[in-house]
Structures are given as structure tokens and as C-alpha cells.
Structure 1
């Protein structure tokens, strides 16, 4: 699986490092909360709620230019609609990879 990139965020910031870091932190600060909600949805077998959370996270994945991850999350969304968890482990790996990514790596 690919590594997150901050190239798109840098392009959006147009050289404004403070803006870049604020957006970066905003995205990554929301992620643990969303992942926690996802875990609750899975535990309670509320797969539609889990689907909605994955869809929300998938929009963030695009900003980090993780195209393989985006494709996998789309498959995970489809599986969740039918109550399947066949991409659950891969989803967890993607989240862990994002949570380890930092603004310092983004330089």
C-alpha cells in the first residue's frame, strides 16, 4: 500500500506553510474520532453507519493522494452495504498508516 503524500495539500496552500499544517492537522485530528465511530458501528453491526464513516474518510484519502487506498475503501464501502467485512483489515492498515503520517514527513 502506498504512503500518504502531502503534495496536494502543498499545492492548495500555495507556499503558506501555516495553512498547510492547519489543514493537515485538521484532517488528521478528525481521523481518530471517525475511526472510533467506525469501530462502534462495526461492534453494533450497524453497517450502514460504518459505510457512511468510510465514505467520509475516503474523501480525506484523496487529499493524501492514496489512490490504491481510495480504491480499496470504495470496495469496503460496497461490502459494508451488504454487511460484509472482507476489507476490514486492509481498512485498519490504511488508517494506521495515516495516523502515523505527520507534518514533518510532509516536507
Structure 2
């Protein structure tokens, strides 16, 4: 697997958006898994970017898992009207699409 800088950047943007969403949600009530999904998404996105940067033999599997976690987080955050949640959901959708293409 060659290094895909666009996918690495999508993972980094997603982790940043999730971090901002998580921070904004501190102390707020949520009727779903936001902001908990953000924590999971941050971790897998950063791991995914690192794995791709070092051309890990496990990049495909990590990209697949990252896409699945991003899909979940996009669904959870996308259900909220907050700007930070909507921005997070959009970054998650883009990252999932990019990672899914890498894992194919």
C-alpha cells in the first residue's frame, strides 16, 4: 500500500473535528453516543494516519475499521443540530469514504 496523503489528511481532519466536538459537548446532555463516539473516532483516526504514514502491513484492516467507526460517529453526531456536531459528522463521512477506498 502506497502512502495516501489525502487519506492521512482526512484522518487528521476528522480527529481534529471530533476533538472539537468532544470538547464542546462536555457538560451537555446527549440522547445518543455523542460524544463517546468522538473519543473512539479520534483514537482510530490517529492510529490509521500513523499506520498509513509508515506503510504498515495492517493499513488495510485499520482503514476498514476506521471507516466503520467514522460511519458510526457520523450517524451519532449527525443526529444533533449543533454546528460542532454537524462539522464532526461531515469530517467523519469524508474520512470514512477515503478510508473505505484505501481498504478496497
The interval holding the TM-score normalised by the smaller chain is: 0.3 to 0.5
Structure number with larger C-alpha Rg: 1
TM-score between the two structures when normalised by the length of structure 2: 0.43
Query: What TM-score, normalized to structure 1?
Result: 0.42
